[in-house]
Structure 1
Amino acid sequence: MTFWLTALLVWIAAGARVGRVLVKPATTARVAIVIAVAAVALACTAAIPDVGLAIDNLLPAGLPPGLLSEGVVVGAWLLFVTATSVVASAAWPVVSRRNLRQIAWGIYGAGALTVLAALFWTSTAGWVVIAAAGAFVVVTGLRNLSWTALGRGIAVYITGTATVVVLAVAQVRRGLTGVAGAEAGQPGWAWPVWQAAALLIAFGAVWIVVEMWVRARLLLRRVRVLHRVLVKRFPEVVQEETGTATQLKASDRVAQIMDALYLQSGGGVEIATAGEPPAAVAARAQRVARWVRHPLGPSRVDARWIAPPEGMSPRGWVQAIAQAFDAEPEPASSTEVSVR
């Protein structure tokens, strides 16, 4: 059952990457990621005992059991490291966008020759190439790690790739020492580790998509009350949302809140009594939130206070205001105060 579940999850990740290519420009790197994840899904599918047995039944009787299914698995992992090497090549400074496509075709050509060699000669040669190319991918990934959504996705992806490298080295050792492979229809060597590596690669490939969706959902939840109050005062800021996707909706809400704050501040009029905004983000957000909650109160805010602090994005600034707004007590009267 775990074989089928792993294959299903990896195929879902491959479908998610296909969807991303359809909504964004199909660059060489994005297409290579789709190929890489689809290759992992193919390897997981061919490793399913029932599927492997069905593949081997395509060969004439009398041939060694597991020959064709093993070749498919090795070829799929070769396709994975080949496509991932294309993505890794794009991260090196010596490779420009202009020559990346030519380099990619060269890598794909070398990968195709290796797949043929693994199928018609020996699978050990394929595992050697998988280990070497995987090591190149891991080294490149380690050079580009950062605490960002992309960096975290790379970390998960190269963790799975490093696991594949270790397993490929073990397969080479088994091949050189003459250890017999698994019987047809039986789980291969260290299959739980292979499944874990495949899931890590699939999860790393879609990490940025999942994280951005989760962050957008959290943003929508945090700014819900602030957005409702400001849109009720200034309904004109809601013209037409750019889409129904969660990320686009979150961006629309941030823009609408910033527009409403700007309108309530007087549309760019500088108020002398407002003073200079402090450098502390928390104190500044608290002042703006108090002013939104009590627009006719003693607090005065102008466009200088509305603008995001230096080094802070509008999204982060709106979240800070929304957090302070939720902590601000309600006015004594429940009647909405007009600021027109």
Structure 2
Amino acid sequence: MTFWLTALLVWMASGARVGRVLVKPATTARVAIVVAVAAVALAATIGVPEIGVAVDHLMPNGVHGQWLGDRVVTAAWIMFATATSVVAAAAWPVVSRRNLRQIGWIIYGAGLIAIIATLTWSTTFGWAIVLIECVFVAFTGVRNLDWTTLGRGIALYTSGTFVVGVLAALSIRRAMHDRPMPAPGQSGWYWPVWQIAALLIAIGAVWIVIELWWRARMLLKQIRTLHRVLIARFPEVVAHEQTGSGTQLKASDQVAQIMDALYLQSGGGLELAAAGVPPESVAERAQRVADWARDPFGEVVIDGRWISPPAGVSPRGWVQAIARAYDAATSTAPAAIGR
């Protein structure tokens, strides 16, 4: 069952990468990632015991024993390592966008030769190519690690590639000692580790989409109360043509609606002397805007200068800060009344 689930998840990641290429320019690197993840999905599919047996029965004259399945799986991992090498090449400063396409075709050509040699000659040679390319990819990935959304995706993808390289080295060692590869479904650690590597690569390839979706969900949860209050006051900020149903589009729409409602409540961005100059502290400024949003007819006076996002803060981050301050003040209000 885990073999089928792994193949399904990797194919889903491959489909997500295809969708990303369809909505964004199909650059050499983006297409290479699609090829790489599709190759992993193919390897995971052939690794399913039932499918592996069916592939082996395609051999003529009754020659079975995983001969064809092993070679197809090895060829699929060569395809993955080759396509990922194209992506890694794009990360090097000496490679420009202008010559990346030519370099990519050279790498693909070498990978195709390795695949043909693997299918017709030796899987040991194929695993050696996979090992070499995985070392190059892992080294490049480590050079480009940072604590950003893209960096975390690279870390997961590189970790999976590193595991593939280790398994390729172990496959070469097995072949040198004339030890057959364990069949899919047999007990042991070999195939589960391959599944882990495939899942790490798949998750790393779509990590940006996953994290952006999760952030949008958290943002919608954080601004829910503030958005509901302001939309009730100014329903006109909700445009009827805003039909985006995706989580990220919905979060962007609600941030824009909150900012529009705040500007309307301030009188359309009029500058008031009584409001004073906004402080540099984001927390203090957000707290005052939140108090004013909760009670626009109270003692707090706000103008357009206070509503504009502070320097270095995105509109999303600014609305989040206001929403947090609003929720904190709202939750403490009943306690203050009780005292």
Show the counterpart of 1:251. Answer: 252
Quick check: 1:53–1:185 contact (8 Å CA) kept in 2? no
Show the counterpart of 1:167. Answer: 167
Are residue 282 (structure 1) and residue 283 (structure 2) matched?
yes
Write the distance in 2 (CA, Å) between the matches of 1:35 and 1:7: 15
How has the CA–CA distance of structure 1 residues 206 and 307 changed in structure 2, closer, same or farther, with 3 Å as cutoff? Answer: same
How has the CA–CA distance of structure 1 residues 68 and 285 changed in structure 2, closer, same or farther, with 3 Å as cutoff? Answer: same
Letter of the 1:227 counterpart: H
Show the counterpart of 1:22. Answer: 22
3-state SS of 1:329 partner: helix
Show the counterpart of 1:197. Answer: 197
Show the counterpart of 1:315. Answer: 316
Deviates more, 1:22-31 or 1:55-64: 55-64
CA shift, 1:329, in A, is 3.5
Show the counterpart of 1:226. Answer: 226
Write the distance in 1 (CA, Å) between the matches of 2:236 and 2:305: 22
Letter of the 2:218 counterpart: L
Show the counterpart of 1:4. Answer: 4
3-state SS of 2:61 partner: coil
Show the counterpart of 1:83. Answer: 83
Which runs of no fewer than 5 residues in structure 2 stay unpaired? Answer: 334-339
Write the distance in 2 (CA, Å) between the matches of 1:189 and 1:211: 30
Quick check: 2:161–2:197 contact (8 Å CA) kept in 1? yes
Q: Percent identity?
A: 65
Letter of the 1:247 counterpart: Q
Write the distance in 2 (CA, Å) between the matches of 1:185 and 1:245: 39
Write the distance in 2 (CA, Å) between the matches of 1:83 and 1:187: 31
Write the distance in 2 (CA, Å) between the matches of 1:294 and 1:48: 62
Quick check: 2:141–2:155 contact (8 Å CA) kept in 1? yes
Quick check: 1:144–1:151 contact (8 Å CA) kept in 2? yes
Are residue 32 (structure 1) and residue 32 (structure 2) matched?
yes
How has the CA–CA distance of structure 1 residues 187 and 74 changed in structure 2, closer, same or farther, with 3 Å as cutoff? Answer: farther
How has the CA–CA distance of structure 1 residues 152 and 101 changed in structure 2, closer, same or farther, with 3 Å as cutoff? Answer: same
| Deviation per residue, 1:104-147 (Å, 9 max, x gap) | 11111111000011111111111111011011111111111121
| Deviation per residue, 1:21-60 (Å, 9 max, x gap) | 2222222211111111111011011112221111111112
| Pairing of 1:31-180 with structure 2 (within 5 A) | 31-61=31-61, 63=63, 65-180=65-180
CA shift, 1:187, in A, is 7.2
Show the counterpart of 1:336. Answer: none
Show the counterpart of 2:337. Answer: none
| Deviation per residue, 1:279-327 (Å, 9 max, x gap) | 2211111100000111011111112211112211110110110111112
Letter of the 1:292 counterpart: A
CA shift, 1:178, in A, is 2.1
| Deviation per residue, 1:205-262 (Å, 9 max, x gap) | 1111111111111111211121122122222222232522111111111111111112
3-state SS of 1:328 partner: helix
3-state SS of 2:278 partner: coil
Write the distance in 1 (CA, Å) between the matches of 2:143 and 2:237: 44
Write the distance in 1 (CA, Å) between the matches of 2:183 and 2:268: 75
Quick check: 2:182–2:190 contact (8 Å CA) kept in 1? no
3-state SS of 1:309 partner: coil
TM-score (norm 2): 0.93
3-state SS of 1:283 partner: helix
Write the distance in 1 (CA, Å) between the matches of 2:67 and 2:224: 59
Deviates more, 1:259-268 or 1:176-185: 176-185
Write the distance in 2 (CA, Å) between the matches of 1:189 and 1:278: 59
Quick check: 1:53–1:184 contact (8 Å CA) kept in 2? no
Quick check: 1:153–1:206 contact (8 Å CA) kept in 2? yes
| Deviation per residue, 1:260-287 (Å, 9 max, x gap) | 1122222222211211212221111110
How has the CA–CA distance of structure 1 residues 43 and 184 changed in structure 2, closer, same or farther, with 3 Å as cutoff? Answer: closer
Q: Aligned pairs, how many?
A: 331
Quick check: 1:242–1:248 contact (8 Å CA) kept in 2? no
Are residue 305 (structure 1) and residue 306 (structure 2) matched?
yes
How has the CA–CA distance of structure 1 residues 116 and 186 changed in structure 2, closer, same or farther, with 3 Å as cutoff? Answer: farther
CA shift, 1:61, in A, is 3.0
Show the counterpart of 1:266. Answer: 267
3-state SS of 1:308 partner: coil
Letter of the 1:58 counterpart: L
Write the distance in 1 (CA, Å) between the matches of 2:188 and 2:329: 60
Q: CA RMSD in A?
A: 1.9
TM-score (norm 1): 0.92
CA shift, 1:186, in A, is 5.2
Which runs of no fewer than 5 residues in structure 1 stay unpaired? Answer: 333-340
Write the distance in 1 (CA, Å) between the matches of 2:63 and 2:143: 45
Letter of the 1:89 counterpart: A
Quick check: 1:17–1:205 contact (8 Å CA) kept in 2? yes
